[in-house]
Amino acid sequence: MQTGRQSRFGQAAGIILPLVDGYTGRPPALRQLTVCLNGVSVKPLCKPDGHMLLMDVPAGTYSLEVSSLFYLPAEMHVQVETDGHPVYATPLILKPHSAYPFPSGAALIRGSLAKRFREGSAKTDDPSAPPLIRGAVQSESSAKARLSQVKAEKGTQLVKFTELLGNIIVGEPVLLKSRKKNAHEVIRIVKWMEEEEGYLLAEPLEHEYERGSLVYAVVETTENERGEFVLPFRGPLGRDCVIQVTVEQDQKVEYEREVRVTGQETVMLGRID
């Protein structure tokens, strides 16, 4: 669940929420979204750049929910202070629903989860925590970028990439993998640092990486109300691309499989029991 931070945006107090389509990396179709504040439907002011403005929101802590026919429900907590300054919320990445209108030729992995995954999450301390479904590209020919700095030391939170294919959305995960040693980890980009010309990571690196280490696309999602899921990969994938698909429940891997995607196509996994 995400949180917001304060900023200035004009003179009126309220919440500024940037929304990002998790497939295209661009603003979503705002007219098709429903926004609720503490369970009450509200009508925000929508900007063409994907920002939603909720004006005249009194001080307090709010649960902000976004839902749509084409996106999985997303929720974040926002704290509005008493100083009258509006809150600029963390960008919210909307993950595509299985009903999302993907373009022809999109590289997709579709499937569904057995009921036991939903029953399993109900037994945890956080019954709302859904299973995590992840697809991580493994083929070098489909790498998204390369590490450009001479060395990224263990513990650093700034990385620099070169030969970037497509865009990287702030908040999305990618897989960083060494070409010379058995070191790899999923990292999450939180900010582009203009002066340093690099990306700030959410957490320090757990391993050391050399120049030329590869960056691979990672897609994370969960099931919809019918147990269905879709892993959409934007940008080009090489032919016969290998993607590692995992399903995690309570931080434990319950399912793991390598899938080969031949060009831009849809791979059907069927039901995962």
What tokens appear for 5 in the block?
Answer: 């931070």
Burial 135-158 (b: 16+ CB within 10 A, else e): bbbbbeebbbbbbbbeebeeeebb
How distant, in Å, are the alpha carbons of 62, 149, 209 from that of 179?
Answer: 45, 14, 9
Q: What angle do CA 212, 215, 217 make, to 5 degrees?
A: 160
Q: What are all long-range contacts of 42-47, with beta carbons under 8 Å and residues at least 24 apart?
A: 44/17
pLDDT score at 121 = 55
pLDDT score at 188 = 94
* pLDDT tens, residue by residue, 219-249: 999 999 999 999 999 877 888 899 999 999 8
Domain 98-273 matching CATH 2.60.40.1120: the answer reads: yes
Write the Ramachandran bin of 155: left for phi over 0, alpha for psi from -120 to 50, otherwise beta.
Answer: left
pLDDT score at 10 = 38
pLDDT score at 127 = 53
Q: What angle do CA 256, 98, 138 make, to 5 degrees?
A: 35
Does 2-94 match 98-273 in CATH topology?
Answer: yes
> Burial of 100 by CB count in 10 Å (0-12 exposed, 13-18 middle, 19+ buried)?
buried
pLDDT score at 8 = 39
pLDDT score at 71 = 94
pLDDT score at 128 = 56
pLDDT score at 14 = 82
The fold of 2-94 is Immunoglobulin-like (2.60.40)
With beta carbons less than 8 A apart as the criterion, state whether 2 and 37 touch. no
Domain boundaries, the chain: 2-94, 98-273
Neighbours of 134 (CB within 10 A): 20
Q: Three-state SS for 120?
A: helix
Q: Which residues of the chain have pLDDT under 70?
A: 1-13, 118-128
Q: Please give the model's pTM, rounded to 2 decimal places.
A: 0.85
